[in-house]
Structure 1
Amino acid sequence: MIRSPGATSLPTTTRSIPSLRSRPFGARIRTSGASRRSPRALWGRSIRPPRQQPWSAPIFRGLSQHPRFLGAVLHSDLARRSYVDAGVDPDRLLTAHNGYDPERLSPRLSRSEARARCDLPGGRPTVTYAGRVTMEKGLGLLLEMARALPEAQFAIVGSEGEGEVERQAAALDNVCVVPWQPFDDTVPYLYAADVVVIPPTVAPLQDVGNTVLPMKTFLYMAAGRAILAPASPDLQELLHDGENAALVPPDDADAAIRRLRKLLNDPDECDRLGHAARDDIQEHTWPRRAERVLNFLEERRNRRERAGS
C-alpha cells in the first residue's frame, strides 16, 4: 500500500546550537593572496575519514601537528579510530556521539493513540522503519521480513517517489509506504510501533560508506520502542544485544526474521528493551553534546596556552 505524497522531508541534521556558534573555535587558515590580518575560516561539510579516503591520511596527520590545531570532534569511536590509525594524536580527538531533542518527541503517545493518528490497524503488531527509502539502505531485507511475517503490519516512512522499494511493497498487503513527513508527523509512527528497525545489513556502512551510527538510532532509542538492528561496530557503541536492543548478524535474513518474530510474540520483552534504550539515551541530548564539545576544546586550548607560557 502506497500513501499519497507529503510536503516536506524528515530532517537529518541538527538545529544550530547557539552556545557552539558563539565560541571562536573554528579552524582558520590563510589563503593565497590574503593579508596576514584577514584569516579565512575553512569549514568542512562532508569530510570522509581516512578509512574511506586513504589519500587524506597525510593531510590530516599534517594538520593535526600544526601548533594552532586544537582538536577534532568525531561522531563515533569507529570514525575516531580511523584518524588515530592515520597518525593523528588520540589526545586531540574526541568522540561525541550525535543526539536528539527531547522536546521534539513530545507529546509521548501510547501505541493505540499513535496508530489512530497514523491510520494504522490497532490490533496487529507493528514494525516501523523511518528514513531514506532505497534498496541501498537495506530495505530489500526489510521487505523479505515482511513477506515472512504476514501477521505483522510494516510501516516504511520516508518515500520520495516511485522506486524499487515502492514497487515491491505495492504487492504486499501488510506493508504501508508513507511519503516523507515533517519531523513532527514522523514521530507518531515510531510510537505506533512494537519494534523499530534499522535494516540488519552492513551495506550502508561498508559498501556505500556514508552511514555511520545513523541519526535514526537516537530517535528510535528516545522513542522507547524495541530496536531490531545489525550487530555492526558502529551501532554497538550504543546498542547492546539483549540489554537495550535486539541485534542480529548482518545480512542474515533468517536470523532477522526469527528474532523479529520472537519479539513480536513477546510484548513484555519489547517493553523491557524499549525502556532500557530510552534510559540509556538520556545523556545524548544536543545540549549535553555541546557541553562535551566545549569542555574538550576549552581543555585543549588551556593546555596549549600552558605549554606556550
Structure 2
Amino acid sequence: MRIAYVYDGYYPSTGADAWQVLNTATALSRQGAHVTLVFPQEPGGVELTKDELLAHYDIQGDIDVIQLKSSNVGGRHLKKLVHSYTAMTLPAVCDADVVYSRNLPVIMAALKAGHKVVYDTYRPWPAQYRAMRLLFKRLFASDRLLGGFFHSQHALNAYRDAGIASEKLCVAHNGFHPKLFRVDQSAPEARLEIGMPEQTFTLGYTGRLDIEKGLLTLLELAEVLPSINLLLVGGGNDEAVLEKARNLSNVYLYDWQKPSAVPTFLRACDILMIPPSGTALKAGNTVLPMKLFDYFASGRVIVAPESPDTAELLKHDENAWLVKDVSIDELARQIEALRSDEDRLTQLTQGALDQSEQLTWDSRGLKLINQIEAWTH
C-alpha cells in the first residue's frame, strides 16, 4: 500500500505533533506500507534528508521524505493552506493509494483533488465547536474520506455524537518504543546520571512547561513539599512558569531532550505526574497526553487527575493513582501517603508496566494498516 502522509508542520520540532506524525509514518512503514512523508521547509531553514530527520528523533523506519519550500509571504495559516494544495500536485501524492493527515486543510485539499483520505486526530472538534459539527458531517459523508483514527475514545465520541457513522471511526492509541525502556535502572542510579540528589524522593513531569498544561499546580505542590524534589523536563517560553520554577530550590529544570534520553529522566523519578488540573483538557490542547505512554513503560508510579480523556487507560489503584479536584494540601497529603506505602507503589508500578505491553508504536501501526485495508476493500 502506498501512503502519502502530508503534514503542515516544520521539522525539526520539539512539538508532540511532529513526534506523533513521524512515529505514525514509520510505524506504517514497518508494517510494509510504502510511506512518503511530505512537510514544509521552514522559511530560512535547511532541507533535511531522511537520514537526518530519523536520526534527530532516534526513530527507525523506511520512509521517503519530500520537503516543500515555503513562501516568505503571508502568515502561518496561509502557508499551511498553500502547502496543502501544493502537496496534492506531487507525483508521490497523486500516485498514492491513500492520503493520510492530521491537518484539516490537507484533508480538504486531498478530497477536492479526488484522493482517498484518512484523518488522524486527538481533538474532539465537534464537541469543542458546535459550528464544526456540520463541517465534519459533510467531510465524512464523502466516500473518499475512508475514516478517521482518534487518539482516545473521548475524542471519537465527539464525532460519533455529531452523527458520523461509527464504521468510519476507530480509536488508535499512540505508543512508545520498547527498546528505549529496556534498561533496568533504579531511581537513585538515574538521578546520579542526570546530576540530581540520589536519595531524595522525586516527582517528575515531561512535556511543555506551560500554564495551560497545569504546571502551576506542580510548582505549588513543590512549595508545600520542600523535602521532595520536582523534576521538570521539556520546552516552553512561559515566563510565569519558568520564573516560579527557578525560584524554588527543590525544582530541577531540564530543556527538551532527545527521545533516547527521556527514559533516563523518567527513571529518575519515583512518581510521574500528569498535573491534576482540568486546564489542558478544557483548552482542548491535550487529550490523552502522549507522555502517558512513556510513563506506562518507565516502571514508575503515575499520579494523574480523574479525567474523561484518560479514563479508558488509567484505572485508579490498579495502574495509576487518580485524584479528583482537590486542594494542594490534600494532593500533598496523598503524595506523602503514597511515598510511605511501598506495597502500593510496587502494585501501581506493575499495573502500569502490564498496561504498557499493548501500547507500542508498532501495535498502533498494525492497527492502522489493518483498518485502512478494511476501509479500502
TM-score by length of 2: 0.70
Match of 1:236 among 311, 326, 332: 311
Aligned-residue identity in percent: 34
Whether 1:279 aligns to 2:354 is yes
Q: Report the AA paired with residue 72 of structure 1.
A: G
- Map of 1:1-309 to 2, 5 A cutoff? 12=16, 13-14=19-20, 15=23, 16-17=25-26, 18=29, 19=31, 20-22=33-35, 24-26=97-99, 28-31=110-113, 39=114, 48=123, 49-160=125-236, 163-206=239-282, 208-250=283-325, 252-302=327-377
What is the match of residue 61 of structure 2?
Answer: none
Q: Which moved more, 1:123-132 or 1:67-76?
A: 67-76
| Moved >6 Å (runs of 4+) | 41-47
- What's the C-alpha RMSD, in Å, of the aligned pairs? 2.3
| C-alpha contact 1:159 1:177 (8 A) present in aligned 2 | no
Partners of 2:274 and 2:370 in 1: CA distance: 32
Partners of 1:136 and 1:245 in 2: CA distance: 22
Displacement, 1:187?
1.8
Ranges in structure 2 where 5+ consecutive residues have no aligned partner: 1-11, 36-95, 101-109
Ranges in structure 1 where 5+ consecutive residues have no aligned partner: 1-7, 32-38, 303-309
Per-residue CA distance 1:241-295 (angstroms, 9 max, x = gap): 1000000013642332222111112233222211210111111111111111222
Partners of 1:121 and 1:21 in 2: CA distance: 47
Displacement, 1:83?
0.3
Per-residue CA distance 1:12-63 (angstroms, 9 max, x = gap): 22323213554823274234xxxxxxx4577878784211232221122122
| C-alpha contact 2:204 2:272 (8 A) present in aligned 1 | yes
Determine helix, strand or coil for the equivalent of 1:71.
strand
Pairs aligned (count): 287
Partners of 1:79 and 1:139 in 2: CA distance: 23
Partners of 2:258 and 2:315 in 1: CA distance: 30
Partners of 1:25 and 1:203 in 2: CA distance: 36
Relative contact order (C-alpha < 8 Å, sep 6+): which is higher? 1
